[in-house]
Structure 1
Amino acid sequence: MVTVKDRIAAMTGCFAAGAMVVGSKAAAIVLAIWAVIMLACVIRQRSDWTRLWADLLAPSVPVALFLAFATLSASSALWAHAPDAALKSGALLGMVIILGCVLRLGLDRLSPHGAMLVAGWFVIGLVGGCLLLFAELYSNFGIFRWAMATFPDIRPPKNSMIVVKGQDVNLIHRAFANWSVAGLNLLTWPSLLILSAAVARRWRVAACLALIAVSLAVTFTSDHETSKIAVGLSAVVFAISLRAGAKTRSAAILTIVALVLSVVPLAQIAYSRLELQNAAWAQFTLKERFKIWGNVSENVWKAPVLGIGANNTTIEHTQKLKPSNRTWPSHHPHNMVLQIWLELGAAGAALLIAAAALSVTGVGRLHPSAISFGFATLAMAAVQSMATWNLWHEWIQSMFMMSFCILMLGNRVVTDQAAGLSAAFSKIWLPERLRHVLSKRSV
């Protein structure tokens, strides 16, 4: 019914979920570890390797487009001022995509009971990581400060969010948890999809509400305003798609096209005409964003077709793209769509539109019970990518990929449950011998 390899895959998934939340900056390493272990768990014969390579060489169209995007990024080294940065960024993105494909293949090859077991333990790991993260936020990183004081070797190098004086860790800024909060929110909707099928019907609503409560507690205890906005918008998208179902995909595709095509002029208008960077209602970090976006939007037109090269924004700001008296330079654009326009030009934007539109189409083809969760996950990812960080951070790429893989796993669990192929998680989570012993004692 459930094999030892299934349990190994499940325990690894439990660890991966917790590690993704607590240590999101190491997401690429966690993704690689789980992908390799999943591969080892599902490969039973030498002939399986032949089928594996065949599957890897025949990816879905959206995956192929994202790989083309990674190829364009690496190729931009030919015209970039910092070719090493462009080549490295494209190669890392391609590697993350391939790792995600390997993990997806491993999850797809699980038996129905194995898939249910892995999915259930993943959610348990996510909840455990979420509770630990909440404890850290509530105690001002008490565990982390104790660990750094006790083991000085694990202290990170110079960091603006951590103040160390002598042997004491005096201060850790709450924004230090922002990466983890974003990672948690990217995995919340796929985990809710899993709970909607893995938990017995009488406990289903309570389990989902408990996960929502813990996730919201972490999000609104943190300082990550983008995640708070993303939670609200994704909930709205979830509610709309519950009513509209697969019809939501047409509106989603039109929204994607409109956002990608209008983001540059909108950033210019917000900065130059409306001067929102001076708005009294805007939070300080939001004012900074308006300045950054204004600077990026002005510089897009210097290389509108192929851009200045992947991950070359910093180099360009310091060497060539001198800001005018109305702009403000930054180490990265804090908007991945604007960043694509600046660094990969219209070619990168076209690939982004095509890949995103096909991804939306794929979500519309999920099991009817999974469609709303899929659109909510896409909305969460869209908001996170439009206001935070750097496209070339491998940790955020890995979080997006992990979110996609868990969404597909949730769809698999829902489909198997609907077809009567898998038992509920509560009936298979314990080893059969232990379950037999416990049932004897209860009698």
Structure 2
Amino acid sequence: MSQPRLPVGQEAVSTSSLLSTRLVAAGSVLMVLMPLAMWLANRSAPLMLGLGAMTFIAAAVAAGRAGEVVARLRSLLATPLGLALAAFLAWALLSILWSHRPAASLRAWAELVLPAVFALAIAASGRFRPQPAWLRALAVAIILASLLAMVELASGLSQRAELGIGKLMSFVFNRPAITALVLAVPTIHGLWHMPAARRSDRILAVLLGLTVAALALRSESASARLGVAVCLVCWVASAYWPRLMLTAAAIGLVLTMAMAPVLGLAAHNWLPSVILNRFAVMTGQARIDIWQSFGEVVRVRPIAGAGFGTSASMDRHPVAAEVAPEHRVLLGVGHPHDMPLQAWVETGAIGAGILLAAGLLLLARLRRLPAREMAPRLALFAAAFAISVVGHGAWQGWWIAVLGAGILWFGPGAAARQGEDHG
């Protein structure tokens, strides 16, 4: 006996709904696979986020919600934080006018903007929601990526050598280690506090935390180890003293941004040699020398900076001629190894001031959350900022994509609703 057919209109709606559901599932799988993709190719996060953005936007369009996407996007951009970030991107683009290599600066700007746009598109789509099943899958993916990285490190990268993929250098796992940390924070929080959380979920959350910490300790990334330590301390302290930790984070942000131009000079004069000697060459005196060299660039161009993306070839910038001869050589290392200092160098006091305002606005938004929700977000903010203070190039696409993914795993639906409330 034949099945009754749906009317043409209902059939179309059913097909669109099924397509939207499948696209959401595909996008969620892409988000889950990011840590494994970063283990295999440590710059792949923007690609995964971009593919995810395409699928989630397509899912919204298939569901007939394109108008809602546009409205949600406007609401997100109209928040004070959204306006501050947009202002920084606009000023960074304008500063390319006085770059000595405009084409290279424009590529650097695009590398920063594209992953930010991808993350914003996913949030605006309203399609990505970290359901318990996806959180469990992400936890397993992070653990698997971390274990694979540790196995390779223990074997001297023999697997990679046999397959002939990637660079045969142990530092290639620094980015995957940082990725694992950033994505683990919302995952652990989600597993622990999900409605009707099972004992197995909390065991998985503990295993995830231990595995990520083990990878940070095993890797060559001092930034990852610093991030894990800051994250743990801040998370625990915020759970007991949320207002105090928010105030401390705000003060630390202001002081760090304000001191960036004289960071090298201050570290050279005040940091005891007994502390410096505990670090590797590139994380000790050499890094302080780099900070001093780029700090001189800030003093030459304090207001508008040298132009966005110019750190990569600062030794060839006309401003290098105005730097003391003994500090010119280290202008060729590629970046200042410090995000606040890089913001000052490339975009001057104007760009650094806008970024500082954006950071304070973010902390102000966290202040409105209950302590249980605020603590992991503040911990991620503190860990990410600590990593950026000692890490490599500030605008790298993989870093922006990973941060965007970490924020999304806390729940973009909630973020979008807050944007609508405050738009």
TM class by shorter-chain length?
A: 0.7 to 0.9
The question of 1:324 aligning with 2:321 is answered: no
Structure 1 counterpart of 2:36, from 18, 21, 24: 18
Contact 2:60 2:66 in 1 (8 A): no
What's the CA shift for 1:6?
4.7
Contact 1:76 1:87 in 2 (8 A): no
Q: After the TM superposition, which residues 151-162 of structure 1 pair with which residues of structure 2 at under 5 Å, given as runs?
A: 162=167
Structure 2 counterpart of 1:7, from 25, 28, 47: 25
Q: Percent identity?
A: 20
* Counterpart amino acid of residue 52 in structure 1: V
Q: After the TM superposition, which residues 276-355 of structure 1 pair with which residues of structure 2 at under 5 Å, given as runs?
A: 279-286=276-283, 287-320=285-318, 321-322=320-321, 324=324, 326-327=326-327, 328-329=330-331, 330-355=333-358
Deviation per residue, 1:163-188 (Å, 9 max, x gap): xxxxxxxxx33212112112112222
The question of 1:396 aligning with 2:402 is answered: no
Taking the aligned partners of 1:130 and 1:9, their CA distance within structure 2 comes to: 22
The question of 1:27 aligning with 2:45 is answered: yes
Taking the aligned partners of 2:104 and 2:222, their CA distance within structure 1 comes to: 30
Contact 2:93 2:308 in 1 (8 A): yes
Taking the aligned partners of 2:38 and 2:122, their CA distance within structure 1 comes to: 15
Matched position secondary structure for 1:382: helix
Distance 1:273 1:4, change over 3 A: closer
Contact 2:335 2:392 in 1 (8 A): yes
Structure 2 counterpart of 1:84, from 103, 107, 117: 103
Q: After the TM superposition, which residues 120-131 of structure 1 pair with which residues of structure 2 at under 5 Å, given as runs?
A: 120-131=136-147
Structure 1 length-normalised TM: 0.80
* Partner residue in 2 for 1:190: 186
Matched position secondary structure for 2:372: coil
Structure 2 counterpart of 1:374, from 373, 377, 381: 377
* Partner residue in 2 for 1:98: 117
* Partner residue in 2 for 1:364: 367
* Counterpart amino acid of residue 186 in structure 1: V
Contact 1:193 1:410 in 2 (8 A): no
* Counterpart amino acid of residue 55 in structure 1: R
* Counterpart amino acid of residue 292 in structure 1: I
Contact 2:311 2:346 in 1 (8 A): yes
* Partner residue in 1 for 2:221: 224
Unaligned runs of 5+ in 1: 149-154, 157-161, 163-171, 413-443
Contact 1:56 1:101 in 2 (8 A): yes
What's the CA shift for 1:338?
0.3
* Partner residue in 2 for 1:441: none
Contact 1:14 1:124 in 2 (8 A): no
Taking the aligned partners of 2:149 and 2:240, their CA distance within structure 1 comes to: 34
Taking the aligned partners of 1:220 and 1:74, their CA distance within structure 2 comes to: 38
Taking only aligned residues, the RMSD between alpha carbons, in angstroms, comes to 2.7
Structure whose residues are more often helix by fraction:
2
How many residues align? The count is 388
Matched position secondary structure for 2:182: helix
* Partner residue in 2 for 1:235: 232
Unaligned runs of 5+ in 2: 1-17, 416-423
